[in-house]
Each structure stands twice: as C-alpha cells, then as structure tokens.
Amino acid sequence: MTSGSLLLLYAAIAICALIVLIARYRLNPFITLTLVSLGLALAAGMPAGEIVAAYEQGVGRTLGHIALIVALGTMLGKMMAESGGAERIARTLIGWFGPRNVHWAMMLVAFGIGLPIFFEVGFVLLVPIVFNVARRTGVPLLLVGLPMVAGLSVVHGLVPPHPAAMLAVKEYQADVGQTVFYALIVGLPTAALAGPVFAKFVAPRVQLPAHNPMEAALLDEGHGRVPDEQLPGFGITVATLLLPVGLMLLGGWADVLATPGTQANEWLRFLGNSVVALLLATLLSFVTLGLMRGFNREQILKFSTECLAPTAAITLLVGAGGGLNGILVKTGVAAEITALSQRFELSPLMMGWTVAALMRIATGSATVAMSTAAGIVAPIALAAGYPHPELLVLATGAGSLILSHVNDGGFWLIKEYFNMSVAQTFKTWTVLETLISIIALAFTAALAMLL
C-alpha cells in the first residue's frame, strides 16, 4: 500500500473532494461519502477484496452505538414534547434566566448534564428543549443550540469520567480529582466563549430554512397555548430526563460502589451502559409522560414510531462518516500522522495537543484522537519528568476536539438536526469546535505558567 507523504496527499484530496462534491455540486452526502471512501482506499493501494469490508466495519462500529442512541433519544424527546414536558422545561428556563439569557442557560444545562454521558446522548436528550426554547422566545435556533453543543463538547473532551479523559488520566499518571478541578477552571470559560459568545456573533449571519423536519417531528404545535397548570410538573419531567444521566453516573462509579468482578459491579455497569440507561428512561417516559398524562398505549405507540422516520437520513450519514473513518485508519493515514507529529520537537503540552489534533482531523473521532495521543505522548512526558500531568490530559483533550468535519459523525448529527447546509455546518459547528480546542489550549498553557 501507499505510504508516506503521498498517502497524506491522497487523504487531503479525498477530504477536499467531499466538501466540493457535497457543498458545490449538491450530490447526496451519503453516496458521496461512500464513493470517496472507496476511491481513497483504491488510490492508497488497499487490496480490492478488503476495501468494502473495511468500510462496512467503520460503518458498523459507528452505528452500533449511534443508531441505538439516536433512536432511543428521539423517542424520549418525542414523549417529552407530546406530554408538554419539553415545554415545561423551556418555560421554567425562560422564567429563571429571561428570554435574553436563555443561551447561557442552555450552555450551563448542557455542561451539567453532559458530565457523565457521551456527547451524542446529551445532544438527543437536550435538542427537543432547544427547539422549544427557540420557538417560545423567538430567539434564533442557533443562538440556543450552539451554546448547548459547546457545553456538551467541552465536558466530552476535557472532563473525567468520560472514557477518553479517564484513559488519558491513567496514561499520564495524573490525579483524577485535580484533573476534574483544572478541567472545570478551563472548561467553563472555554464553553462560554465558544458557546454563547460565538453564537451571538454567528447566529445572525446564518439563515436556516423555515421548515425543519426534525423540529416538526419532535415538537407538538399545540403546547405554546397550553396553560401552565395543564403541563406536567417540572420535577417529574426533569427526573425522567435525568434518569439516564444518573444511571450512567452509577456505571462510571461501579468500581467504587462495588468490588470489581462481583455481580453487583456487573449490574451497575450494565445499568450504566448508555443504551440500557436510555432504554429505561424511554420506558419510564411512557409511564410518567404518557400514561400518567392521559395517553393510551395506541397513542404512545404512534408517538414512538412516527418520530423515527426523520432519523433515517441522520443515521445513514453518521454511519458513512464512520466508514470513511475506517478507511482512513486501514489505509494507514492515522499512522502517518502519528509518525509526522513525532518528528517535531515540542514540549509535552504542545505535543499532546498537536498529536491529538492531527489524529482528530484524520479519523474524525475525539475519543480515538485523545486515547491514541495520550498513549504516544505519555512515555515521552514521563521520561522528561513533566510536573503537571493533569494539564497534559487537558491539552490532549483540547486537541482532540479541533476541526470537526465530514469524517466526524457529530458533524452530520449537528447538520441534520439543525437543518443546515454543509457550508453552514462548517461556519458554525466546525468553527465552534476549533475555538474550543484553541481556547482550552490557551487557558491550559496559562495555568501551566501559574502552577
């Protein structure tokens, strides 16, 4: 197979071709992703008999997690919408923060809810509330939505107990408590600048279509006129929404709460699995937001079925992005980037950020980028006796969030739910992720000088 700089050139051409074919020539993104992925594999010299299998493995690895999350999260969101639960949360947030500050409210809510859960899970849980808040206040959707995804992304990349961050803590031999403390110091201002502040700037400059299929699927038009007393209680709605968060938190602390290897430990891990946690929350919503709200079983079945249709395109696009990811890894692009990064003489802090950033651009996965970079940089940092391993975790996490583009499933998730074009997604989501990466690195470097 091809190797060296020529392989990197092929990968760069493939990414540029994707952007041009989708944004300029308006080709179907799923078809384009598939064609370009297969074309890159052929150009890189992969054996023809292995190409489709590598692509399918990438798709399957991605959809094995995302498809279930999107489906269950969408059902839970639909029940929140039909029962008036999302409307209740929207009205409460508006009452607490006022219409002018709801973008700050969404950032803080996402930051808190996102602590124990994956980005995609938090997104599908919160997006119905984003739609509701935007509709209730008349605030542009992106002014509410971008702060939400900024809060989720920051905690996903920087704050334990997320898996990649925990792996980096172990690799760098950092203290978990100190890492969380420094991550909050760095993460909150980073989320504020990349979320509400950036959204205030960019939202007026992006015109979204008047009709959003996902918004129409998740929202019930009638709740804007329902009196407060006819909506479900704030407590029971939030309890239903936070059930998966609590279960995943229990799963993350399984080894603390029960001895590893015991049945109790295994049950905690099982209940804390994101799919199981969302499944249980969805079933609970059928009771608390369905039967207890006067809906019968036929209506609940209708709600949970009809909301899935708009998710088909999202699921295919996310899967195709995973397929491209698989091809990039199998052809050796990720390995070439790793080798390239090791040729530069950088401080451990900058090396952690740079390796993670290059891996993120190549593979599209923040988790893969952070875990791979930590494994590469940790031996170098430990040998050099770097005194602040907690900051290495933050720098590596910051690098893993940079420049989300067409090989990242999150890119397509944001694009489809917010009904943006590819160009608009680059202008908003990609820039937001890059801002998070650079701002978090700057704050981390400042902390390193102060400690």
Distance of alpha carbon 99 from alpha carbon 109, whole angstroms = 15
What phi, psi does 222 have (nearest 5°)?
A: -80, -15
Q: What is the pTM of this model?
A: 0.73
pLDDT at 2: 64
CA-to-CA dists, residue 231 to 68, 84, 133, 393, angstroms: 29, 5, 15, 44
Query: Cβ of 262: how many Cβ atoms within 10 Å?
Result: 11
pLDDT at 429: 95
Compute the half-sphere exposure of residue 370: CA atoms within 13 Å on the CB side of its CA: 30
Distance of alpha carbon 400 from alpha carbon 394, whole angstroms = 10
Distance of alpha carbon 451 from alpha carbon 182, whole angstroms = 11
Distance of alpha carbon 273 from alpha carbon 279, whole angstroms = 10
pLDDT at 143: 94
Question: By the 8 A CB rule, do 63 and 318 touch?
Answer: yes
- Encoding tokens for residue 293? 């709200």
Q: Three-class SS of residue 222?
A: helix
DSSP 8-class letter at 24: I
Burial of 51 (C-beta count, 10 Å sphere; 0-12/13-18/19+): buried
Query: Cβ of 6: how many Cβ atoms within 10 Å?
Result: 13
Q: Which residues contact 141 (CB under 8 A, 6 or more apart)?
A: 130, 131, 134, 208, 212, 215, 418
Percent of the chain at pLDDT exceeding 90: 22
Quote the radius of gyration of the chain (alpha carbons, Å). Answer: 22
Closest of 342, 352, 340, 289 to residue 158, by C-alpha: 352
pLDDT at 219: 66
Query: How many residues are present in the chain?
Result: 451
Q: Which residues contact 60 (CB under 8 A, 6 or more apart)?
A: 319, 322
Query: Cβ of 384: how many Cβ atoms within 10 Å?
Result: 11
Query: What's the CA angle centered on 312, arms 309 and 124, to 5 degrees?
Result: 85
pLDDT at 108: 86
Q: Three-class SS of residue 130?
A: helix
Q: Which residues of the chain are under the pLDDT cut of 70?
A: 1-4, 23, 62, 65-66, 115-117, 161-164, 219-226, 252, 310-311, 313-314, 318, 334, 337-345
List the chain domain ranges.
314-450
CA-to-CA dists, residue 85 to 112, 280, 290, angstroms: 19, 17, 10
